């Protein structure tokens, strides 16, 4: 839609003529004004016209109502699954802000490791077992298991068929091999392990502290 009348010139012209406002209205400039699609100077011209001619204000209100009705009638609702994911992400971010050990959030690629690190550092001493590891279950329900892992030894090769595994590094460095791919990971890094993929973890630093998460399929 393109306005054919210069609003600044139109204002002075209409003041000194007996022409009606129909050509100005039909130019489409009011629609462009309502959509905030006019340059600054043209907007000022329209605003002067609205002050000079009250009937244009009534026309503008009618246009705004029509545009709102059109927007509502033509809107496309996102798929239900997408809505659930968006809502779930918002709720998860709120949980991460609070970090209640009784209601922990899901870790994902957007997780701020510092929130988890503060939680972990609030625990008392975590003694290592004979295998050089300490594992503390933080969350366990019918869908999600989250474990704090402190390890000074490599993690053996394994695979999962009914759980999506992921982990978030809080301290230290390691090398993770998934299938034929190798990734070096450090503080704050997050990784998801695909189903049916063999994977193992080799420590690069003396100790690694991580959050291990398993979500049932």
Query: Are the C-beta atoms of residues 55 and 19 closer than 8 Å to each other?
Result: no
Encoded tokens for 28: 């489409």
User: For residue 75, what pLDDT is reported?
Assistant: 78
Burial 14-24 (b: 16+ CB within 10 A, else e): beeeeeeeeeb
The full set of domain ranges for the chain reads: 7-74, 81-216
User: For residue 147, what pLDDT is reported?
Assistant: 96
| Radius of gyration over every alpha carbon of the chain, rounded to an integer in angstroms | 31
Q: Rounded to an integer, what distance in angstroms lies between the CA atom of residue 120 and that of residue 126?
A: 10
pLDDT in tens, the chain (217 residues): 545 455 554 554 444 444 578 888 889 999 999 998 999 999 999 999 999 888 899 999 999 999 888 888 887 766 766 666 667 788 888 898 899 999 999 999 889 999 999 999 988 888 999 999 999 999 999 999 999 999 999 999 999 999 999 999 999 999 999 999 999 999 999 999 999 999 999 999 999 999 999 999 8
Q: Rounded to an integer, what distance in angstroms lies between the CA atom of residue 204 and that of residue 217?
A: 31
CATH number of 81-216: 2.60.120.10
3-state secondary structure of 167: strand
Q: Which helix (H) or strand (E) holds 151?
A: strand 144-151
Query: Are the C-beta atoms of residues 21 and 57 closer than 8 Å to each other?
Result: no
């Amino acid at each position: 839609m393109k306005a054919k009348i210069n609003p600044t010139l139109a204002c002075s012209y209409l003041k000194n003529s007996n022409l009606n406002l129909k050509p100005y209205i039909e130019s489409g400039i009011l629609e462009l004004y309502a959509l905030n699609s006019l340059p600054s100077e043209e907007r000022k011209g329209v605003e002067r016209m609205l002050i000079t001619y009250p009937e244009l204000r009534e026309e503008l209100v009618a246009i705004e109502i029509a545009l709102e009705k059109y927007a509502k009638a033509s809107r496309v609702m996102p798929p239900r699954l997408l809505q659930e994911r968006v809502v779930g992400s918002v709720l998860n971010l709120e949980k991460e802000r609070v970090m209640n050990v009784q209601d922990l959030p899901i870790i994902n690629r957007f997780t701020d490791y510092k929130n988890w690190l503060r939680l972990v550092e609030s625990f008392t001493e975590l003694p290592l077992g004979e295998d050089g590891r300490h594992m503390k279950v933080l969350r366990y329900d019918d869908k999600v298991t989250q474990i704090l892992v402190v390890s000074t030894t490599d993690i053996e090769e394994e695979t999962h068929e009914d759980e999506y595994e992921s982990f978030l590094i809080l301290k230290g460095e390691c090398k993770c091999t998934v299938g034929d791919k190798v990734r070096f990971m450090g503080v704050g890094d997050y990784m998801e392990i695909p189903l049916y993929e063999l994977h193992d973890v080799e420590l690069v630093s003396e100790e690694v502290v991580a959050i291990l998460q398993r979500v049932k399929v």
